[in-house]
Structure 1
Amino acid sequence: MKKIRWLSIPLILMTLGLEFRVNAAEVQSYNSQGIVGFGPGSGVQPPVNPNKPDPTLPVFPQNPDGSKPNPGGNGSLTIDFASSFDFGNHKISNKDQTYLAKAQKYFDSEVLTPNYVQVTDRRGTFAGWNLKVVEKTQVTQIDSGPQKYKVLKGATINLKSSETASFTNEKSPKTQTISGLIPGVETQVALASTGEGAGTWVIRWGNDSMVTEDGLTTAVSLFVPGDTPKDATAYTTTLNWILSGLPTNVPN
């Protein structure tokens, strides 16, 4: 019995040694790479729904007169669309009056939305941008006939309850309420500081809760003083939207 025990020990050691040599086989590794690059985007970004601003789902806004809006800019920092405001037709009054604008209409849908302006930043620099608006002239008669009162003196456009919306998760630009545009004076609408405003952004005035059953929006209005004389004709003005990148510090 003792011989059997001693003879079994070398066999076990030999088996363990063989197993160790198999598990210690040599392993090598080698690294390769995948690479992709990006540059500033370009082209025209179509308008998006201001309530669901998905750039892959364009919409087709309609001007108050039923015409198509002008196309947006072509580049990496663009104004894509801005609503035109229709304040309706009213009887001449000698009292102060506030007239609400009609909500935004579309060619491809019966749904009405808040009025809005749309900006796209595809520069890829996160350098920020500034959006302003200027009323080019006071509200003036469209007709060139013999009417007596060519200008609605003291009439002011108001843009309230401004909100931002985007399909991205980037930091939002900041907006402000506009109480009374002054003809010829630039007024800030939205400011994207450095690190803000990348992608497509909508600045809308109000939301669906501010669109009335009559298709008006309480967030955009025209105030006309009662003592302003008026002819029985149509008046209009032009809003010029101005988008610019933020200035950069240039070393001396």
Structure 2
Amino acid sequence: MKKTTLLSVPLILISLGLAVKADATTTQSSTSQGIVGFSTGGGTQSPVDPNLPDPTLPVTPQNPDGSTPNPGGDGPLTIDFASSFDFGTHDISNQDQTYVAKAQRYFNSGDLTPNYVQVTDRRGTFSGWELKVMELTQFTQISTGPQKYRELKGSTISLKNPIPASLNGDNAPSAQAIQSLIPGVETQIALAVSGKGAGTWVVRWGSQENITQEGLNPEVTLFVPGATPKDATAYQTTLNWILSDLPKNTPA
């Protein structure tokens, strides 16, 4: 009996040791989640530098007459800014002439950049957009006095070498060079097909290297026929910029 007892005690101790070791290696796991949501954006986007189009670094463009440009749109798809074009003052000529626009100027800065138009798409749908421009009328005299030659008949604006630019360098819209705007006719400036054009984009005409020492941008020009009679006064036109959603495909 004593022998049996002595042999059984070590077996019991060994069994207890195995049980303790199994408890020490037992592990548990659980899961939790992180979540974030986005909704269609809104508000306004300030103009950006067309050479460095960073939405967090706004600029303050200046109109040719020194005034402040019209504020940009408010909403998920907006035109934020469009340059006005100043073609200068010149001697009357009976020869065909092409006049070059002054580069874009800014308040509180001596910087000059290419002229440009800016669009922001915060819809989050990647459904695309189209930007057009329409010259509302032919260049017409500003003064209200006697007007013998009220319009610059046959004059045309050209917008050449368009360059889309954004910090979001992928999925750029396409942009079209315009040889001559026709008053009363909408002309496509840029097109972002489905999947392209999200975020803030500029279309600038030319690069910084194109700006001349005289502060002119040769990519934006005005042609005036020599045969068009002109009074010794200023002429002006209005450009209407039109931004729209791309039409959705519907079943036939």
* TM-score, with length taken from structure 2: 0.91
Match of 1:142 in 2: 142
State the shift of 1:149 in Å.
0.4
State the shift of 1:250 in Å.
3.4
Q: Matched residue of 1:203: which SS? A: strand
Unaligned runs of 5+ in 2: 1-9
State how many pairs are aligned: 240
Unaligned runs of 5+ in 1: 1-9
**Partners of 1:26 and 1:178 in 2: how far apart?**
74
Q: In structure 2, give the amino acid aligned to 1:155.
A: S
Match of 1:52 in 2: 52
Q: In structure 1, give the amino acid aligned to 2:197.
A: G
State the shift of 1:20 in Å.
9.7
Query: How do residues 64-213 of structure 1 correspond to structure 2 at under 5 angstroms?
Result: 64-213=64-213
Q: In structure 2, give the amino acid aligned to 1:244.
A: S
Deviations 1:206-229 (A, max 9, x none): 011110000000000000011110
Q: In structure 1, give the amino acid aligned to 2:46.
A: P
Q: In structure 1, give the amino acid aligned to 2:152.
A: L
Deviations 1:57-92 (A, max 9, x none): 000000000000000000000000000000000000
**Partners of 1:174 and 1:23 in 2: how far apart?**
66
In 2, are the aligned partners of 1:170 and 1:198 still within 8 Å (CA)?
no
In 2, are the aligned partners of 1:210 and 1:217 still within 8 Å (CA)?
yes
Match of 2:27 in 1: 27
**Partners of 2:184 and 2:34 in 1: how far apart?**
54
The structure 1 segments of at least 4 consecutive aligned residues displaced by more than 4 Å after TM superposition are 17-20
Q: In structure 2, give the amino acid aligned to 1:127.
A: S
Aligned residues with identical type, % of pairs:
67
Q: Matched residue of 1:163: which SS? A: strand
Q: Matched residue of 2:188: which SS? A: strand
* Cα RMSD, aligned residues only: 1.9
| Worse-matched range after superposition: 185-194 or 18-27 | 18-27
In 2, are the aligned partners of 1:59 and 1:108 still within 8 Å (CA)?
no
Match of 1:6 in 2: none
